[in-house]
Structure 1
């Protein structure tokens, strides 16, 4: 067991609950979630109209899909994309490629700032987030590794916890269950079904992500 990484995780989970600071970093997962909708829409020959990011860590992506199948895949992409991103960040952390992780966030943030995000809060948050990333990259060393591991922990925690939140909403207030509600309107399957699917994939990929980091880093000491 890699106790150093467990310490980073514990610190990251503590920071998540600090007012103002916690939500600032939790929006990193929202950025990934909404960007996943946008990327899949583009891959399916659709359009990304705009993305909005909010201070309460919520977000929304407006897209235009070319086909019915494209609309379904775009709606499903948010939660799955966050879980896959957590897995990818785990691999980079396990290999010590912390600068690569931060540069990927810089690129994703810049693309959103230039092309998609248009609400004032979202634009300001992206600009500040990019500056924080670039500062850590400039300082190198522990600054880069700490922020990289912290962002991994934030994304992992948020991808799993948000999947349970959408499951709860899909079972209790299905009309307000976001992506699960969108999929329920487009398919014969209820929002609760999609909530369960989102939760299961998040837990499976989340477990794999944590296992990759803790086991590989421990073996490489």
Structure 2
């Protein structure tokens, strides 16, 4: 998304949230403005004062809910994580196969797609430099549930005799490193230096994911972890 488009989208969202704010939902309105500000200008663009201004309240009003910027950004991260999990749920719903490797692929592709469309929200959750990840029960629970989904699928793949290496934890960490690294390369603009045009990056990331998954299988020649 271009900066201009993000700005237009942000202004529209900001105006909508400010116009619908009423007593009792200030916390939700502030989080919504924080998400918009982060999408528009990155982590450094988010401040309690600016969030309050966009929500149409006094600079002091947010402090009833958020004692400092870390608390606000943690709440923003929690909402971003909820949206990320919704992306995973939708991707698994679209994957009609019960093949556990294809379902692992659906999760991996959902991660890449969400990070590509929401680079700042991805950074807020992933870098953790602006939030209190350890102190958030919501972030911890959602992260644990995603990991549990992956482990369950990999254990099922092991029971079916599909895997060359039956070590769900190692596979999950390696897969996470792959999709995280690909997302960071895209967001940081590194692909052109590797001879990959911006328009080709999405396809390359999918093929990288497929290469990794094929390497897990005992019989990659007869299995198809990739696109249908």
TM range (shorter): 0.3 to 0.5
TM-score (normalizing by structure 2): 0.37
Higher strand share: 1
TM-score (normalizing by structure 1): 0.38
Higher helix share: 1
Rg larger in structure: 2
Q: Which has the higher contact order (CA 8 A, sep 6+)?
A: 1
